Amino acid sequence: MRWVLYPVAALVALTTLGLATLAAISILAWPNLPSLEALTDYRPRIPLRVYTADGHLISEFGEERRNVVNIDDVPVQLKQAILAAEDERFYEHPGIDLLGIARAALANLSSGGRGQGASTITMQVARNFFLSREKTYNRKLYEILLALKIERNLSKDKILELYINQIFLGQRAYGFSAAARAYFGKPLENITLAEAAMLAGLPKAPSAFNPIVNPARATVRQRYVLRRMVEAGFIDNAAYQTALAEPLRTQSARTVSGSRSNLVRGDYVAEMARQIAVEQFGEDAYQLGIRITTTIRRDDQEAAYAALRKGVMDYDRRHGYRGPERFMELPQGRIDEEALEEALSEAGDFDDLLAAVVLEASTREVKVFRRGETLTLSGDGIKFATPMLNDKAPQARRIRRGAVVRIRDNGEKGWELVQLPEVQAALLSIDAQTGAVRALVGGFDFNRNKFNHVTQAQRQPGSSFKPFIYSAGLERGYSPGTLVDDTPLYFPAGVTGSQAWEPKNYDGKFDGQMTLRDALARSKNMVSIRLLDNITPAYAQDYIGRFGFDTARHPPYLTMALGAGSVTPWEMATGYAAFANGGYRIDPYVVKEIHDGNGKLIARIDPPVAGESAPRVIDPRNAWLMDSMLKDVVRRGTATRARSLNRNDLAGKTGTTNDYLDAWFCGYNPDVVAVSWMGFSQPRNMGRGETGGAAALPIWVNYMRTALKDMPENPLPRPNGIASAPVADGDREDFYYSENEPPALKPQPSWLEELFSNNSPALEAPEEAIPAAPPAPAPAPRPIPAMQAPAPVVDRLPTPVQR
């Protein structure tokens, strides 16, 4: 038996020697372990976040999505799921689990490798903060030593809290709170047991068990976690069965079904806020946890987004289906789902406009492939695209097998064929008293076109600019009841210095003498030109600067009367606010407050307020009279569609430029100013009849229906110094400045009318008297980084026929 004892003794000796060596190495390594300051003074990289004024998240920027939570705020079922999946004896062991290590060692020896580890949660914290993920014995030793050191300095709850906040879980999500939002679109406290088990299964392999990318494997892992929870006594069999039966709706599934995302749709606003943060804090803005609170209101922003999308989609339907976006080879027989998914990934989704591949197409029905399932569209769902389902349709535009198309879930009506619109639109809403932006949508889809048409697009305003010319006229003695001729005008080339100009009214008709009130309501171009001629273009150019317009973009020519200069929706909202608030200049702003990563307030906007600190730029009587005239535009003029809101305090003006390049509506009540615009990014004809009243006004109406929903009517109070008298035709009264004469007589003809009354070439004015009206200078707009677009084209004379 002696020979049997020799191997045993040798094994004991070797084991003793190994342990002694390990102890010596540990003693020598212990002083060289890193400081735990990164844990005791935990400062994670927290992204820049942008919120609405009422506390809803709009967007976040940074490589790491992270929401740091206190351990007491973590749901108990998530803690239990994590412990069951990763470290059941966490609250019992001293940082290392000897039983787990022995089990892993035996498994590795039997398999001849080192594929199985025995990391406790504390060891994972050590690795995540201080070490690499390489599988070596040296790294494992340091991991064990660090785990022991961590356990000596931190409580178990603090260690678990660090783990919950720091670990990477896929989808750029760091920590379980960020993962709950990334995968399920909800805050951590609202997750269910089934969702907690799904999240707890991610640390082992975030990419392999990603429920969005690999739902089948993620489900297998989730069921394992639930079984472990039962075995550990955390849940009973009833809870286990309920969790197994619960259908999980990840973010991607919510998008496919057309459900709303948890984020407020304010990408253009978020980008504006991001730029401000980077200007102030540099690249560190993405990891300091800065919180920017904007002036945006969630309900307003969602209403603006929906109104703009509807307006653009309605326009798109009016102009017909253009055909599939692209085609791919699709052999008959069994389809290659992986290839189809790749094609759909390249096409991308744009909110509820989802990419799909056509499998079969006829005039009766269309079958498409989308995310692993086949959908059948028929009836009204394919009506829009019917012309391209016919065999006689052009081959390059016909819907057939292999075509990549767009579909949308239309609720109870089911799936329908749609297309990505080419036209763009913008909507801006501000508080008339302070300039705080209530809603801003800079284009149809930020992910498709990041150019912000609200702040960057310099476009011709058309007749929506006329109120500022009329306001200037009031300051020069005109009144709403003043009579002006609506008769033809003609300017020879010798006068314009360029080419002959014969402006027209939109309807091609001339109605003789009419009051300024009627002319503005009916958008009569001849009256606007005569008015500008009498007050002089130079005076008007200087006057419009009061409203915040860049006067260099509005050359002092008669074409200014028809809105031939260039403006942005941002400028137009600023200008109209002076009519809405009684004559004060306010400047729109979008950022309300900025807090640092510790919640400390570091910036707050204190804007000038109308009637208090804002400068007065026009006489209160001027503002009231203009408001009165602009209300008539809504009551009986070109904006009668706004009467559907059933309010008496609405005012505004439509605008349509030559060849239907731009459509505007600028309107307000004394509380809210909103401007809507539609056109192509590179200006081109939108189609006959696409006026401001037809294309832009419906967007404005649909937005204001929500914005003014709970607001009582708020008429602008009538100031002192206004008198009334019968207008020239004697049928009604109108208002004027009390120090002026009642507007009973037609003004004297201008020198231009006298000059050309006999059409005598000998009486032509010098060429410099009425300069040519070239396009307004169009320097590049103040750019937003990574969002520049080519400068807009500004038409030359003849000037737009606006309405």
Residues 6+ apart with CB under 8 A from 19: none
Is 558 in a helix, a strand, or coil? helix
Cβ atoms of 494 and 606 within 8 Å: the answer is no
Q: Which of 463, 464, 471, 528 is catalytic?
A: 463
Q: Is the dihedral of CA 503, 509, 510, 514 positive or negative?
A: negative
Q: Token pair of 629, please?
A: 């005239």
Cα 522 to Cα 170: distance, rounded to the nearest angstrom: 59
DSSP string across 107-170 = HHHHHTS-------HHHHHHHHHH------HHHHHHHHHHHHHHHHHS-HHHHHHHHHHH-B-S
Q: Which residue has the tokens 């009206």?
A: 773
Q: How far is the C-alpha of 102 from the C-alpha of 98, rounded, in Å?
A: 6
Q: Is 463 a catalytic residue?
A: yes
Question: Active-site residue 132, yes or no?
Answer: no
Q: Is 612 exposed, middle or buried (0-12, 13-18, 19+ CB in 10 A)?
A: exposed
CA distances to 160, 187, 652 from 184, rounded to whole Å, are 22, 9, 43
Do residues 426 and 305 make contact, with C-beta atoms less than 8 angstroms apart? no
Query: Phi, psi at residue 673, to the nearest 5°?
Result: -110, 130
Element (H, E) at 726: strand 722-726
Instruction: List b or e across 55-73, with b for residues whose CB sees 16 or more CB atoms inside 10 angstroms.
Output: ebbbbbbbebbbbbbebee
Coil vs helix vs strand at 515: strand
Which amino acid appears at position 793 of this protein? Answer: V
The answer to whether the CB of 273 falls within 8 A of the CB of 264 is no
User: What's 693's DSSP letter?
Assistant: I
CB 481 within 8 A of CB 736: yes
The answer to whether 221 and 84 have CB atoms below 8 angstroms apart is no
Cα 468 to Cα 540: distance, rounded to the nearest angstrom:
8
Q: By C-alpha distance, which of 53, 564, 496 is closest to 297?
A: 53
Ranges of beta strands (E only) in 493-554 are 512-515
How far is CA 729 from its chain centroid?
51
Cα–chain center distance at 724: 47
Q: What is the biggest distance separating any 2 CA atoms in the chain, rounded to whole angstroms?
A: 140
107 contacts: CB under 8 Å, gap ≥ 6: 116
Which listed residue (60, 86, 271, 302) is catalytic?
Answer: 86
**CA triple 447-450-455, angle to 5 deg:** 145
CB-CB neighbours of 335 under 10 Å? 14
Amino acid at position 495, single letter: V
Residue 795: phi and psi, rounded to 5, are -65, 150
Beta strands 48-51 and 57-61: pairing type?
Answer: antiparallel
What single string gives the DSSP state of each residue in 187-200? Answer: -GGG--HHHHHHHH
- Of the candidates 244, 301, 257, the residue with the CA atom closest to the CA atom of residue 54: 301
The 3 state secondary structure assigned to 60-94 is EECCCEECCCCHHHCCHHHHHHHHHHHCCCCCCCC
**Of 670, 652, 667, which is closest to residue 711 (Cα–Cα)?**
670
Question: If DSSP codes are grouped into helix, strand and coil, which group holds residue 620?
Answer: helix
Q: Which residue type sits at 141?
A: L
Write out the catalytic residue numbers: 86, 463
